[in-house]
Structures are given as structure tokens and as C-alpha cells.
Amino acid sequence: MSVPYYFWFPISVSMGMGFMSLSIPPVANQFMELFGVGYGGLSFFLSIYYWTHSFIQVPAGLLLDRIGVVRSLILCIAVSLVSSLAPFLEPDSLPLAVAGRFLLGMCTGGLFLITVKIIKALTPPVYVSRVQGVQGAAVALGTMLPYLLLPLAGGYGWAASYVACAAFCFVIAYGAYKMPLRAMRRSHAHPTLRETWESIKVIATSREVWFLGCCHGLSFGTMMTVIGNWLPSILVDMRPGTAIEDWALFTSAMLFVGMFGRISGGEMARKVPRGIILNRAMFVVAATHLILAVSGFAALSIVVAFLAAFLCSLTFSPVFTLATDTAQPAYVATAVGFMNMIANILNVLLILFLGLLRDATGSFTAGLCISGTAALVFCILTRNLAKTIGENRP
């Protein structure tokens, strides 16, 4: 029996996006030496990807809804390939590397919306939640791969980071070649400008969309920022004399656990009100940040991070199935893009906030205390909305 396209192609794209998003942290020391920057400069280099990934969501959604999946996909693949290889022209140039990450963030923002559109258009409704969960698991698997593979390149880890991102572009191009064009053309609508503007106003003023964006931002931010980007540095602070690379295997394992969390969330969303899953996850986010802030023990922090990696990942399928449920069919990419933009802006702010406070105070404690308290307040204030939004199950 052949594997359906709506299953294997989103997995391939999602693994590539996961790798691209965390292709820098496992060899962060090499990039800091290459560019001659500290943690503040590194946080800027790390965050530029998320800034563009965030702000491209709505424009990419509008473009995708208007020109269709195929042309959008070709554009994303071509620009991703160029942005991955261009830094080799001048490897120690921070501006060139930033420009590459800027473009790569734009492209992965578009690629993510393309996978959501494909899942919505081609997947039988009974399997949407499951496929969305598996897609999220593929992103988690992709984020794990840099921690496993890049340290193997030794002092050339920075170069392997760029080459691997380019290699994933060819994998995605193969998937584009195999796309069932006729089925995707049936999913391509042609809204007028007035209809598009009215839809944007509805989406931008929706309490549900903002709630979903914040939930995704806090859970995704804990997975990608606190665990994926900063946990190795947090553990180095707890164990002086160790290096970021020494903790790469632990971080990779946590991201691997997150993969199973996303699969489990896809199954759970079929049985448990999705808003309830989100509300409980926000409490986990708050507890994780606060415990990491005050523990001071690497072993305890690793255990907490493992638990958080699984529990925070349960939110992926509930967030995106709720987002697609609230959108009109012609504006699925736009609605998901706006929600994802909110989430990614929160993630970017968290990267900058934790990195800059680490430089200013010499510790991650203050930043994690503040972010954990903010997550707890959000959890309490939105508990009623979480119950309401979870009533309309697929």
C-alpha cells in the first residue's frame, strides 16, 4: 500500500523546516567565533530567522490563497536554496549570514502554510487531526537532527549547517514534482480584494485567533526557544567548565520526546476538548520556566525539560485544527498565517528577551522568572475562553 501524498509530503517539508530553524544553536560557539560576537549578537542572529518567519505569515497566506500552492512552493524552494548557500561567499560576514537567515525565515513561513493548505485540501476529514499531529512530530524530528549531525562535523559544523539546509531544499523539490496538481487546483480559490480585506478584518479581531496564537507562541516558544535555543546555554551556566556542544545530545533527546508529544496530541484532540488541552499546557509552560529559573541543578533541569518537551508538544494539533476550523475555506492560509504570526512574534521576543537579560545580568534566572509568571497569568485569564473554544470538536 502506497503512503498518501498528504501524509509523506508534509512530513518531508516539516522535517526540513525543523532542521532549518535550529541549524545554528548546536554550533553556536563556532558562529560566535566566526562573527566575533557574544550572546547579545548571537541572540540577534538567532532571532532574525523568527522575525521574518513571523511577519511573513500574513503576506504569505494572502499570496498563497491568491496564486495557489504550486507557484508558491516553487518560489519558496528557489529562495531557500539561494539563502542557504549564499553565506559561503563570505563566511565571516555577519550581515551576509543575517540576510541568508532573513530570507530563509520568509521561505519556511511560506512552506509551513503550504503544508497546512495541502493537509486541509487532500486529507479525509476523519484523519486531519492525526495528520496534523504527525506533521508537528516531523517538525520536532527535524529540530532534533542538527544536534545529532552538526557536532559530527567538528570545526566545520558551521559549514555543515548551511549545506544541510540546502540539501533539504532538494528533498522538498522532489515532493513538489510529485504533487497531485488536479486535486490542488480544485482547492485554489480566487477571492476579490474586497473579500480578502473583509476576511483579514474578521481574522485580526477574532479573540479565538489571538488566543490560539498566544498558546502556540508560549508552547512553541518553550520547545524551540527555552529548550531548543537556550537550554544548552542554561546548562552551561549550571555546570561551569562544560561547553554547549556537551549538552547537544540531551537537547536532541528532548526534541525527540517532543515529536511523540505532537503525535499524542493529534490523537488526544480527537477525544478531549482541544481548548482544555491548551489551557493545561499553559500551566506546564509557566511551571517549566519558573523551575528552570530557580533550580540551579542540571539534572533537575533536564528532567523538567524532558517533561515539558512532551507536554508542551501536545498543543500542536489542537492549535492548528482549531485555527483551520475557524477559517473560511478560501482563507485557511491567511487565518493560520495570522495566528502563526502572533505565535512567532512571541517566540522571537522570548529569544531576544532571554539572550539580552543573560548578557545584562549574567544569568537566565530573571528572564525565566518573568516569562514564567507571564505564562501563568495568561493561563488564569483565558481559562473560560479555553473551555468555550474547545466545545466545537471536529
Position 270 scores a pLDDT of 81
Domain assignment present for 264: yes
Instruction: List, run by run, the mean pLDDT of 10-residue segments along the chain (394 residues).
Output: 77 91 87 86 82 83 80 92 94 92 92 85 80 81 86 91 94 87 59 72 85 90 75 84 77 78 84 89 92 87 89 87 75 79 83 84 89 94 86 47
Domain assignment present for 69: yes
Position 183 scores a pLDDT of 61
Domain assignment present for 370: yes
Position 252 scores a pLDDT of 73
Domain assignment present for 394: no
Helices (H), the chain: 5-21, 28-35, 39-55, 57-67, 69-85, 94-122, 128-149, 157-177, 181-186, 193-204, 207-221, 231-238, 248-268, 274-294, 298-313, 316-326, 332-361, 365-381, 383-389
Domain assignment present for 119: yes
Position 390 scores a pLDDT of 56
Please state the domain count of the chain: 1
Q: What cell numbers appear for 20 in the block?
A: 532549518
- Rounded to 10°, the helix 128-149/248-268 angle is 180
| CB 165 within 8 Å of CB 80 | yes
Domain assignment present for 186: yes
Instruction: Give percent of the chain with pLDDT exceeding 90.
Output: 26
Position 21 scores a pLDDT of 87
CATH number at residue 105: 1.20.1250.20
User: pLDDT tens digits for 85-115?
Assistant: 999 999 999 999 999 999 999 999 899 888 8
User: pLDDT tens digits for 131-163?
Assistant: 878 887 888 788 888 988 898 998 899 999 999
Terminal-to-terminal C-alpha distance of the chain: 27
User: What span, in angstroms and rounded, lies between the C-alpha atoms of 103 and 226?
Assistant: 24
pTM: 0.71
Position 327 scores a pLDDT of 67
| Owning domain of residue 156 | 5-389
Position 191 scores a pLDDT of 63
Domain assignment present for 90: yes
